Structure 1
Amino acid sequence: MFHIVVCDDDRSITEYLKETLEKKYRRKIECQCVYSAEELLKWLEDLDQGHTNIIILDIALGDDDGIAIAKEIRSKYPQIKVILLSGYAQLASNVFEADPVYFLSKPIDEQKLFSSVEKAMDIVQHQEIKAITVAGSGGKIHRIKVEDILYLETSNRNCCIHTDKGDCIEAVAKLSDLVNQLPDYIINSHQSFACNIKKIKSFSREDGITMISGDVIPVSRRHYKGVKEAIALHI
């Protein structure tokens, strides 16, 4: 499943895009509307909001510069693909500074909308993140192969990354920030846990998730459906 966020200060535009995309792609996507740069950035930073794949972003958001916001997103969340849109032709000349997947002009052509979203989906599906670099306690830097990650767990204000090598690496980072750097098969199962779908041994609503290591991690009611769908997609 792809997680899409639409950000435009014109509510009629956001609702139109949401309804159009959900009608076209049905259960293939989840779509969320936000209406300001502040709300968008808060959404991305919020521990409970899960994994965002694609953002459709207006470049004129009141007093905020959507192109600058897109650059910030590219810097902080490189795995998220951004589609920019605008009704002002004079603003379009600078959009490619933000390296968007696509630029849509208003009024929005549905076929171009679908083409842009499908292009972003294709990039998300095929992008391969092989390793992440995290800062540990005492300033130590760790380079961790994504294929080695079993699950991540919130520990006080930091995060422990459990690997299939038996390591538990403490990272000075929020769980949400780490999940946003990782492929979409590493997904939140709980407010305090995220797991590698490819490393699951068994899964049930009653017993939670058993990893191939034998470790058992919880699945909250909020995240149960998302985990179930992710397993169906990746296994």
Structure 2
Amino acid sequence: MRIILCDDDEQILDQLQKYLREYHESAHLAKPEYAVYSNGDALLAPESRASALRADIAFLDVEMPGRNGINIGALLREKNPKIKIFIVTSYLDYLDDAMKFHVFRYLSKPIDKARLFRNFKEALYQISMEAEKMSIETKEETIICSSDEIVMIEKEDRRVIVHTLSRSLESVENAKYWDRLLKYRSFNRPHRSYIINLKYPPVLYP
């Protein structure tokens, strides 16, 4: 696992690393790879950009010299839809901008360790769930895929249609089944007839 830390406050960077190491040790998890930057321009420098875009989790400050955390977060999310982004800041004015690119969590400074642990645990859980394979059972066949391949679940009268990146399938399971199964992944139910994958733009929806 690769984790990005980007903040112009050295004390915050030290605190984040200390807390994250403590979490991994207490949970008996393998040590992740950390990449630490003092500003957004350093994160996107030619020698670090490619590696940063492959990160699993990013903790980004908002107000930094050069490109701010909102700009950096939007770019990381565009290039790597799977990344879990934590915005870490004292300025709540940026919440609306952060939500536009589906930031995973918004953490206030000073960092509360218990809250960080809770949200980091959920991020790890979602990452593990997204990597897990699931089955789509129809009357004719059973298809194995990951949740990343599912664009939307649609309820049409008594039918439940699973729209994937490659095709649409009529599931033998009801909408409640899919709601429970996808609850902790990157899905949202904006309407009782739809469960959508927030990783994909609306243009992909049928």
TM-score w.r.t. length of structure 1: 0.49
Q: Which amino acid aligns with 1:84?
A: I
Note the C-alpha offset of 1:50: 9.7
Amino acid at match of 2:13: T
Q: Deviations over 1:120-151 (max 9, x none)?
A: 11121111499xxxxxxxxxxxxxx99xxxxx
Partner of 2:84: 81
Deviation at 1:91, TM superposition (A): 2.7
Q: Which moved more, 1:15-24 or 1:34-43?
A: 34-43
1:115–1:3: structure 2 CA closer, same or farther, 3 Å change rule? same
Q: CA deviation at 1:99?
A: 0.8
Give 1:57's aligned amino acid. L
Q: Which residue of 2 aligns with 1:56?
A: 59
Cα RMSD between the aligned structures?
Answer: 2.5
Contact 1:5 / 1:55 at 8 angstroms: preserved in 2?
yes
Matched residues, number: 129
Give structure 2 stretches of 5+ with no counterpart.
134-144, 147-206
Q: Does 1:36 align with 2:39?
A: yes
Distance 2:22 2:2 in 1: 15
Q: 1:99 aligns with which of 98, 102, 121?
A: 102
Which aligned segments of 4 or more residues in structure 1 are displaced greater than 3 angstroms?
none
Matched, 1:90 2:93: yes
Q: Counterpart amino acid of 1:76?
A: K
Contact 1:10 1:35 in 2 (8 A): yes
CA contact (8 A) 1:86 1:92 kept: no
> What is the SS of the residue equivalent to 2:98?
helix
Q: CA deviation at 1:82?
A: 0.7
Tell me the residue number matched to 1:14.
13
Q: Secondary structure at the residue paired with 2:81?
A: coil
Contact 2:87 2:103 in 1 (8 A): yes
CA contact (8 A) 1:4 1:31 kept: yes
Structure 1, residues 18-65: CA drift from partner, whole Å, max 9, x if none?
Answer: 11111221334333321111222243414xx79521011111122422
SS at match of 2:76: helix
Q: Could you tell me whether the CA contact under 8 Å between 1:85 and 1:103 is conserved in 2?
A: yes
In structure 1, the residue matched to 2:50 is 45
| Residue 126 (str. 1) matches residue 145 (str. 2) | no
> Is 1:25 matched with 2:24?
yes
Change in 2 beyond 3 A, CA 1:41/1:63: closer
Q: Percent identity?
A: 26
Aligned-residue offset at 1:110 = 0.6
